[in-house]
């Protein structure tokens, strides 16, 4: 297997990891939230934080590296056209993802505290969950846009 093919495979797998982990995390967090069970939420949020650390963070680091190498090999300029737009969308995704990671940690901690004290989930939990949920829309849309740009390679 040549270098370009290896980079393409790594880049596509990275995109799949970003898209799949994001969708999976959103699904499991939403299902746990709907149950309103602090113990279930605390457990699910703990797994979500781990998944974000292991899978999402790894892909976040590798995607621009493999993408830049592929662009270089193909002779595409990095900061213009569809690649430039995909980088803008990548930044948008990151600007949504970073607070989401912090929110997931807080949701986990608030749920753990509710379990430890036998109290219901506090109002702060529900406010943070709404923000977490809302930040997911632009992040997910941006990742879908990046995948589309990567596949279609429109002449911009």
Given a cut of 50, the residues of the chain with pLDDT beneath it are none
Give the DSSP letter string of the chain: --HHHHHHHHHHHHHHHHHHHHHHHHHHHHHHHHHT-HHHHHHHHHHHHHHIIIIIHHHHHHHHHHHHHHHHHHT--TTSHHHHHHHHHHHHHHHHHHHHHHHHHHHHHHHHHHHHHTPPPPHHHHHHHHHHHHHHHHHHHHHHHHHHHHHH----
How far is Cα 89 from Cα 10, in angstroms, rounded to an integer? 20
Q: What pLDDT is recorded for position 55?
A: 94
Which pLDDT score is estimated for 115?
98
pLDDT of residue 156: 87
pLDDT score at 80? 87
pLDDT value of residue 140:
94
């Amino acid at each position: 297997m040549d270098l370009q093919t290896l980079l393409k495979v790594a880049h596509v797998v990275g995109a799949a990891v970003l898209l799949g982990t994001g969708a999976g995390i959103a699904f499991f967090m939403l299902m746990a939230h709907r149950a309103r069970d602090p113990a279930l939420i605390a457990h699910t949020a703990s797994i979500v934080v781990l998944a974000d650390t292991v899978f999402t963070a790894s892909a976040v680091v590798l995607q621009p590296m493999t993408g830049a190498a592929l662009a270089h090999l193909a002779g595409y300029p990095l900061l213009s056209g569809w690649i430039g737009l995909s980088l803008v969308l990548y930044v948008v995704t990151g600007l949504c993802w970073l607070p989401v990671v912090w929110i997931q940690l807080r949701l986990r901690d608030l749920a753990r505290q509710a379990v430890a004290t036998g109290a219901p989930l506090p109002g702060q939990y529900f406010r943070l969950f709404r923000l977490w949920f809302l930040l997911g829309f632009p992040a997910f849309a941006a990742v879908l846009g990046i995948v589309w740009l990567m596949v279609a390679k429109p002449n911009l």
